[in-house]
Amino acid sequence: MNAVTSVAPAKFDVNEIRKDFPILSRLVHNKPLVFLDSAASAQKPRAVIDAMSFAFENEYANVHRGAYYLSETATTNYEAAREKVRTFINASSVNEIVFTKGATDAINLVAASYGRLALKPGDEIMLTALEHHSNIVPWQLIRDQTGAEIKVVPINADGSVSVDAFARTIGPKTKIVAVAHVSNVLGTILPIEAIVEMAHKVGAKVLVDGCQGIVHEKVDVQALGCDFYAFSGHKLYGPNGIGVLWARAELLDAMPPYQGGGEMISTVTFKQSTWAEAPAKFEAGTPPIVPALGLGAAIDYLNRIDRVGAIAHEHDLLHYAMQQLPTVPGLKLVGTAQNKASVQSFTMDGAHPHDLATVLDRSGVAVRAGHHCAQPLMEALGVTATARASFGIYNTRAEVDALVAALHKARAVLL
């Protein structure tokens, strides 16, 4: 009998990791690409690209619909991807994993379905000042339909959100607390467990927008204790067009469908329709089949590497960047909370972030500039825009140096 051996992943080595991402070896404007915009969308490893090509070339058909080989294979693969997501976030059942188009779609689903079920006039939805528009606007839509109100927890000057500020805002009228796990602008990691504890004490449910959190933290939804966790595949080194809503089974069971269409029903007559069980109840129409397989491949990839080492590497890059960036005259870091993931916003006196990003691009350095879909946060910070460098598992200290060198050049051009 063969002994069962579990292979521990090789120790994290960024140079090995970089070889897995084909795009990183290309030139941009004749310069080596320095990709520092993974918070917007991460690059894809060869394993994801190959898994998706293989599916299109060999195993493509619609899912849950055909009694023939290819459809059964595609269905098995699609459901296997769901199981990969379940283990990745430690959900207790695959029935708690709803595939969506992305995090935005997942949050809209919860706001429209759970929000309509749970909210009445005078009830409160609690958000924080650093939320992405995707975790603001869906709640405004449901607020306007139900007569509920939105309360906003302020942030501190360093971009942190204190538990005390939550305690001051939460109350018996709070029914839903919707918060980012990690801010896409400031990198702040929010104290989710403490927030959940406070929310549950007053009977409120907690939705965590895990778009950035899933990338930079090891997520265990049962340990976090929240009720909903939403994320997109494309920031997690998977494709776009696929996202995940995790929700407690009893909530999904109680929630009405979000959209109607094929596959979400049990029976349909012109008089009345009945619904399938979750997660099918929330997956109306042909789902993003190959993107789901791509997400599964991204999770396989992350499971194969030393993830703890990868997260430590990202922290190292963040701290190095936080030391090096202020050496550029006039540069101000935006977001300096103690507990941070590898996302760093900054401004430069006298230079608009858009101009900065355009000039950096000429050096092959890709950063994002603008309001980052967080206009209320920009207002709270007293700025109209920032530039933002966000680091993924494939970035290096040498790339931080390249960013700093390009910023010095940009100063010379712009000021």
For ligand C6P, the binding residues (CB under 6 A) are: 39-40, 102-104, 132, 134-135, 180, 184, 209, 211-212, 232, 368, 372-373
Distance CA 353, CA 361 (A): 12
Name 100's Cβ contacts closer than 8 Å, sequence gap at least 6. Answer: 106, 109, 230, 242, 243, 244, 245, 282
CB of 8 to ligand C6P, least distance (A): 32
Question: Which residue number, 172 or 285, has a Cβ lying nearer to ligand C6P?
Answer: 285
Question: Which residue number, 160 or 212, has a Cβ lying nearer to ligand C6P?
Answer: 212
Sign of the torsion angle spanned by Cα atoms 120, 123, 126, 131: positive
Question: Which residue number, 180 or 247, has a Cβ lying nearer to ligand C6P?
Answer: 180
Question: Which residue number, 170 or 190, has a Cβ lying nearer to ligand C6P?
Answer: 190
Sign of the torsion angle spanned by Cα atoms 232, 238, 242, 246: negative
CB of 35 to ligand C6P, least distance (A): 13
Catalytic residue list contains 211: no
Distance CA 7, CA 275 (A): 43
Pairing of strands 34-35, 31-32: unpaired
| Annotated catalytic residue within 165, 202, 373, 383 | 373
CB of 41 to ligand C6P, least distance (A): 7
CB of 40 to ligand C6P, least distance (A): 3
Question: Which residue number, 74 or 221, has a Cβ lying nearer to ligand C6P?
Answer: 221
Which helix (H) or strand (E) element contains residue 125? strand 124-128
* 3-class secondary structure per residue, 241-299: CCEEEEECHHHHHHCCCCCCCCCCEEEECCCCEEECCCCHHHCCCCCCHHHHHHHHHHH
CB of 135 to ligand C6P, least distance (A): 6
CB of 134 to ligand C6P, least distance (A): 4
Question: Which residue number, 180 or 402, has a Cβ lying nearer to ligand C6P?
Answer: 180
Which amino acid type is present at position 1? M
Which amino acid type is present at position 106? A
211-227 burial, b for 16+ CB within 10 Å, e for fewer?
Answer: bbbbbbbebebeebbbb
CB atoms within 10 A of CB 117: 12
Structure token digits, residue 87 = 């283990």
What is the set of active-site residues? 373
